[in-house]
């Protein structure tokens, strides 16, 4: 495999996505387009010639033209508190109505809407923005935050806000059965070789996928290649039941798949994880998959083995909606 094809996800997920429970709890204005659209997990779209009672329909958050001093902002409550590593402020399709500048603040609060005593920390100083563009910024402050304040100057529209980070999970799992590959429990995608049609992190999301876009889907493979994804479990555990869900994938599900697993208790680079994963023990032999179906398997190959990393191999390519590994933390 050519290392140029590796996509290092580095254990980061979009903490702002609504399916994790994130929600907009305050906004100064949303005259042209509701603030809740800014955290839609799907990419923004443009609808030519579509207008509503306020004006042109836009897929994002858009405020009215400001005729007074000040600026607009919204407050986002993260579904799960976490550390923020990178943000993407996306102005796709906003041209002539995008903000001239943006900045971000963050805080930790147990309240739904932080009160006046909450301490806001600037995590992104005021930055210039462009029309119809992604704006990626690295965040240096690695404190744990629960709320984000996005400031736009002076007004305008933003299509999407992505907040890439890691859930801070201090949950004690005890001896109960849990999904070791659930993002809500702290599982993260580490690296894959392709995610052309659907992002790898989707496979760890809660609930049933809404459509094909809500899953991990690779491009069409040509030749004798196969696709793969490496996941770090929420915690080390012993897996009992395996579920591979191809919901919505009908003409594009993988023909077969296999699973490998390992327990790694030391800090090693993601590149080293990729290299070692080729020799990990089989958790599930290559099995046939079907369209639009939940496939349930019992772990017979590594029943009593402690694992914290999973590698899923799909042959030759295609899409999977969800993967679930049920077991006990150890």
Along the 330 residues of the chain, how does pLDDT read in single tens digits? Answer: 344 568 988 889 999 998 899 999 999 999 999 999 999 988 999 999 999 999 999 999 999 999 999 999 999 999 999 999 999 999 999 999 999 999 999 999 999 999 989 999 999 999 999 999 999 999 999 999 999 999 999 999 999 999 999 998 767 788 899 999 999 999 999 999 999 999 999 999 999 999 999 999 999 988 788 999 999 999 999 999 999 999 999 999 999 999 999 999 988 999 999 999 999 999 999 999 999 999 999 998 998 899 999 999 999 999 999 999 999 999
Which pLDDT belongs to residue 110?
94
Quick one: which of 91, 117, 113 has its CA closest to 27? 113
Q: Which helix (H) or strand (E) holds 205?
A: none
> What is the second-level CATH architecture of the domain 170-329?
Sandwich (2.60)
Q: Which helix (H) or strand (E) holds 56?
A: strand 55-56
Mean pLDDT (the chain) is 94
Would you say the C-alpha torsion 274, 237, 217, 60 has a positive or negative sign? negative
Q: Strand pairing partners for 51?
A: 56
- 14-167: CATH class: mainly beta
Q: Is there a shared CATH topology between the 14-167 domain and the 170-329 domain?
A: yes
Distance CA 261, CA 284 (A): 9
Enumerate the domain spans of the chain.
14-167, 170-329
Which pLDDT belongs to residue 3?
45
- Residue 239 makes CB contacts below 8 A (sequence gap 6+) with 180, 261, 283, 299, 302, 307, 325, 326, 327
Q: Is residue 106 within 8 Å of 145, Cβ to Cβ?
A: yes
Predicted TM-score (pTM) of this structure? 0.87
């Amino acid at each position: 495999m050519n290392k140029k094809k590796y996509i290092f996800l580095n254990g980061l997920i979009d903490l702002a996505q609504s399916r994790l429970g994130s929600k907009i709890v305050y906004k100064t204005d949303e005259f042209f387009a509701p603030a809740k659209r800014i955290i839609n997990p799907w990419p923004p779209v443009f609808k030519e010639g579509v207008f509503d009672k306020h004006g042109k329909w836009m897929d994002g958050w858009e405020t009215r033209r400001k005729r007074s001093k000040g600026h607009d902002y919204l407050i986002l409550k993260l579904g799960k508190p976490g550390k923020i590593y990178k943000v993407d402020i996306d102005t796709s399709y906003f041209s002539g109505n995008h903000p001239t500048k943006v900045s971000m603040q963050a805080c930790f609060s147990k309240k739904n809407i932080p009160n006046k005593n909450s301490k806001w920390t600037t995590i992104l100083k005021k930055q210039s923005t462009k029309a119809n563009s992604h704006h990626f910024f690295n965040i240096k402050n690695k404190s744990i935050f629960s709320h984000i304040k996005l400031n736009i100057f002076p007004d305008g529209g933003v299509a999407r806000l992505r907040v890439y980070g890691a859930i801070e999970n201090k949950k004690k799992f005890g001896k109960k059965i849990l999904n070791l590959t659930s993002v809500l429990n702290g599982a993260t995608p580490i690296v894959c070789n392709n995610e052309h049609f659907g992002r790898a992190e989707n496979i760890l999301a809660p609930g049933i996928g809404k459509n094909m876009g809500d899953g991990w889907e690779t491009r069409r493979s040509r030749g004798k290649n196969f696709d793969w994804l490496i996941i770090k479990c929420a915690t080390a555990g012993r897996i009992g039941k395996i579920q591979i869900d191809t919901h919505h994938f009908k003409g594009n599900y993988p023909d077969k798949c296999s699973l490998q697993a390992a327990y790694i208790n030391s800090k090693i680079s993601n590149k080293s994880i990729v290299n070692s994963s080729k020799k990990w023990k089989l958790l599930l032999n290559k099995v046939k998959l079907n369209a639009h179906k939940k496939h349930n398997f019992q772990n017979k190959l590594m029943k009593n083995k402690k694992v914290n990393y999973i590698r899923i191999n799909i042959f030759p390519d295609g899409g999977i909606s969800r993967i679930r590994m049920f077991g006990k933390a150890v």
